[in-house]
Amino acid sequence: MKLEKEKTVPPRKPRNLIPFLIGGVVIIIFFIFSIARNLAERPIAKISYDAFIAELGTLDLEKYSNIKEVTIVGMEVTGRLHKAVELHDIRTGRIITTDSFRTTLAFEDPDLIRAMEAKGMGIIFKAASPWGRVIFNFLLPVLFIVFLWIMFIRYMQAGSKGAIAFGKSKAKLLDKDIPKVTFSDVAGIDESKEELQEIVSFLKWPERYRKLGAKIPKGVLLYGPPGCGKTLLAKAIAGEANVSFFNVNGSDFVEMFVGVGASRVRDVFEQGRKHAPSIIFIDEIDAVGRQRFSGIGGGHDEREQTLNQLLAEMDGFSTQEAVIVIAATNRMDVLDAALLRPGRFDRQVEVYSPDLRGREEILKVHTKGIILGKSVDLKLIARKTPGFFGADMANVANEAALLAARKDKKAVGAKEFMEAIERVIAGPERRSRIISDYEKSIVAYHESGHALLALLISEADPLHKVSIIPRGGRALGYTLQFPLEDRYLTTKKELLGRVVVFLGGRVAEQVVFNESTTGAQNDLEIATKAIRKMVCEFGMSEKLGPMTFRDSEDKLFLGRDITRDKHYSDKIALDIDNEVRSLIDKCYHRAETLLKSNREKLDKLAATLKEHEVLDGDKVQEIVGIKRDTALENR
């Protein structure tokens, strides 16, 4: 079920913009007519006073004057000529041909007026009034800009969903009429559900707890890896509690304007109090709740101000208001310590990866609407998906249904589910990729090296499938191994066995072709990380002893450990590198010894794999003559 219908709270009706539109149209029309009128006028030359006297024919009444009429406004004179002449425009410095001019009188001269009257010129006197020019040149443009700004503000604030709705939070109130997600839709994380069912119980029957003096936690923090079901749990709480549920993302608080984040925090808590009992769900809270002033170059003032307001709101409202904050994060390690103390997020619920039974229950939830074939065994599929989270299992079920629909089948079979698992792990097949016969041989020996070592090393996970069909972006082949059961502890011997299998591809290339290729890049990366963890984190080094030398994983964000002294010396760092290299060399030598002593089996397996491209675990055992128990169904 999906929670899709949402509404913003409080709803705001967009204001009537018709008067503003009419006013804007009037101003625009006025400007258009003014510009058109100016364009229609003949060019006017701004001439000097001396040029004006020359055109006037000096003050001598008998000399001819080319001036036809003038308009005098204060000391400003504009006029028309009998015939167009070339005049020097003192504003532009150019010579233009025109019959209109403008000039400024140097001083008041009564004789000038009498001379123009005597020569029969038309003279028009106007009172000097600068307001018209001020209005046209200054006030109207300012009013037009103000109008555009008001229109922009009104448009952006319509419905309170615009970027300029400064202090309003973007919290969304889930509509009570939409389909609900309940705890029955959440599977595989039973302990986490039990923790949250208590919250729902308090919201439904608060008196039961208040009679005993119990106080509900003010905040609940859901943490775990991506895709484990944190947001789904929050939706289930909303569906079960039947109270107002506000949903907001951590990144919605902080925007480009200073102070917006703190204002939005106040607004969302105010809404929560108005609709109490209520739940405020903040997804990805690490976007706003990261530790303060922890990075190089100082902190982020706006985010810190938002966090401070969040801390104040969580610690400020009374528990009797029945407002509960639920937050989700993938990075609990970067959250500010003030958020995690009692009184704020009192309860911290880990949403863990599901075990075998949990994965089976998750598959049952996600296959409710899917027609399954008789060959489908959900328990077997769950065994073949170790380490998968709820989102991964949902993806597997959906991919299987899509594959069956693509083949126009009436039901989804076990084959589609296995193909879906491989698509999720390694990506879709790319049969269109054409590789040369030589490269195909290298890939066949590479994958055969992995597969043969998986059978020869008893502590390695059982082999399920080997393929040289390209998948995803770069993988030219892959080898799948599935454990027989969920494991929570791993021995040193098992870790070293896994590393030997990872190195099998590179060793096979060296043994057969006496050459190394780039195809082993991912194998070497995984093997090196595994060995370094054994030495630095698990204390599995005989030379360094049971000590941990783990480096902090949050350096790039926090910047704390760059300025802090290392807790081991340079000599220890060199010893760590030497021990990692030594263990890698031992694993490489073991893989080389096993493959050289079983060269005939390696050649036979590679030739068969090159011919058929895909082999399952049982077929590989039959080819090389090695038997291992891989019957997942019987366990």
> Does residue 561 surpass a pLDDT of 80?
no
191 is catalytic: no
Q: Which of 82-96, 286-300, 429-443, 621-635 has the highest mean pLDDT?
A: 429-443
> Does residue 208 surpass a pLDDT of 60?
yes
Long-range contacts of 531-535 (CB under 8 A, 24+ apart): 531/499, 531/580, 531/583, 531/584, 531/587, 532/576, 532/580, 534/492, 534/495, 534/583, 535/576, 535/579, 535/580, 535/583
Q: φ, ψ for residue 119 (rounded to 5)?
A: -85, 5
Q: Which region among 18-32, 89-103, 491-505 has the lowest average model confidence (pLDDT)?
A: 18-32
Q: What is the token pair recorded at 39? A: 């364009």
C-alpha to C-alpha distance for 612 and 468, rounded to whole angstroms: 9
Going by CATH, does the domain composed of 437-634 fall within 3.40.50.720?
no
Q: How confident is the model at residue 139 (pLDDT cuts 50, 70, 90)?
A: low
Q: How many CB atoms lie under 10 A from the CB of residue 180?
A: 16
> Does residue 385 surpass a pLDDT of 80?
yes
User: The sheet that has 614-616: what strands, in order across it?
Assistant: 478-481, 463-467, 614-616
C-alpha to C-alpha distance for 449 and 479, rounded to whole angstroms: 10
Q: How confident is the model at residue 2 (pLDDT cuts 50, 70, 90)?
A: very low
Query: pLDDT tens digit string along 400-429?
Result: 999 999 888 889 988 899 888 888 887 777
> Does residue 564 surpass a pLDDT of 80?
no
Instruction: Give me the residue label for tokens 């400007």.
Output: 31
Q: What's the pLDDT at 59?
A: 54
Q: What's the pLDDT at 131?
A: 55
Percent of the chain with pLDDT over 90: 15
Q: How confident is the model at residue 436 (pLDDT cuts 50, 70, 90)?
A: confident
Q: What's the pLDDT at 293?
A: 64
Q: Which fold has domain 42-128?
A: 3.30.720
69's CB contacts (< 8 A; 6+ apart) are: 79, 80, 121, 122, 123, 124
More confident residue, 41 or 388: 388
Average pLDDT in the 543-548 region? 88
Average pLDDT in the 89-102 region? 76
CA distances in angstroms from 370 to 146, 366, 392, listed in the order given = 59, 8, 17
More confident residue, 334 or 137: 334
**pTM given for the model:** 0.66
Q: What's the pLDDT at 557?
A: 45
Do residues 99 and 79 lie in contact, with contact meaning Cβ atoms separated by under 8 Å? Answer: no
CA distances in angstroms from 255 to 115, 251, 299, 302, 416, listed in the order given = 72, 8, 16, 9, 46
C-alpha to C-alpha distance for 102 and 79, rounded to whole angstroms: 7
C-alpha to C-alpha distance for 294 and 552, rounded to whole angstroms: 14
Q: What's the pLDDT at 608?
A: 92
More confident residue, 354 or 32: 354
Q: Which region among 292-306, 435-449, 585-599 has the lowest average model confidence (pLDDT)?
A: 292-306
> Does residue 273 surpass a pLDDT of 60?
yes
Do residues 499 and 532 lie in contact, with contact meaning Cβ atoms separated by under 8 Å? Answer: no
- Which DSSP symbol is given to 345? S
Average pLDDT in the 388-411 region? 89
Q: Which of 53-57, 130-134, 135-139, 244-248 has the highest mean pLDDT?
A: 244-248
Q: What's the pLDDT at 596?
A: 93
Give kind and range of the element (H or E) at residue 598: none
Q: How confident is the model at residue 304 (pLDDT cuts 50, 70, 90)?
A: confident
Residue type, 85: V
Q: What's the pLDDT at 585?
A: 94
C-alpha to C-alpha distance for 316 and 314, rounded to whole angstroms: 6
Average pLDDT in the 213-236 region? 84
Q: How confident is the model at residue 178 (pLDDT cuts 50, 70, 90)?
A: low
Please report, for the chain, the start and end positions of each structural domain, with discontinuous segments joined by +: 42-128, 172-350, 356-426, 437-634
C-alpha to C-alpha distance for 535 and 21, rounded to whole angstroms: 72
Class assignment of domain 356-426? mainly alpha
Equal fold, 172-350 vs 356-426: no
Three-class secondary structure of residue 614 per DSSP: strand
Average pLDDT in the 231-253 region? 81
> Does residue 340 surpass a pLDDT of 90?
no
More confident residue, 13 or 383: 383
Using the CB atoms, write b or e for 368-390: b if 16+ within 10 Å: eeeebeeebebeebbbbbbebbb
Q: Which residue, among 401, 251, 433, has the nearest Cα to 328 in the 3D structure?
A: 251
Q: How confident is the model at residue 138 (pLDDT cuts 50, 70, 90)?
A: low
Q: How confident is the model at residue 175 (pLDDT cuts 50, 70, 90)?
A: low
Q: Which residue, among 402, 390, 322, 321, has the nearest Cα to 351 in the 3D structure?
A: 390
Residue 69 β-bridge partners: 80, 122
Q: What's the pLDDT at 603?
A: 92
* Strand boundaries in 478-589, DSSP class E: 478-481
For domain 172-350, the CATH superfamily is P-loop containing nucleotide triphosphate hydrolases (3.40.50.300)
> Does residue 502 surpass a pLDDT of 90?
yes
C-alpha to C-alpha distance for 329 and 323, rounded to whole angstroms: 20
C-alpha to C-alpha distance for 389 and 362, rounded to whole angstroms: 9
532's CB contacts (< 8 A; 6+ apart) are: 576, 580
Q: Which of 40-49, 83-92, 103-112, 486-495 has the highest mean pLDDT?
A: 486-495
Half-sphere exposure of 125 (CA within 13 A, CB side): 4
Q: What's the pLDDT at 300?
A: 57
Rg for the chain, CA atoms, rounded: 41
More confident residue, 365 or 174: 365
> Does residue 575 surpass a pLDDT of 80?
yes
Catalytic residue among 447, 509, 579, 592, which? 447
Residue 73 β-bridge partners: 76, 126
153's CB contacts (< 8 A; 6+ apart) are: 164
Bridge pairing between strands 172-174 and 6-8: antiparallel
> Does residue 174 surpass a pLDDT of 70?
no
Percent of the chain with pLDDT over 70: 75
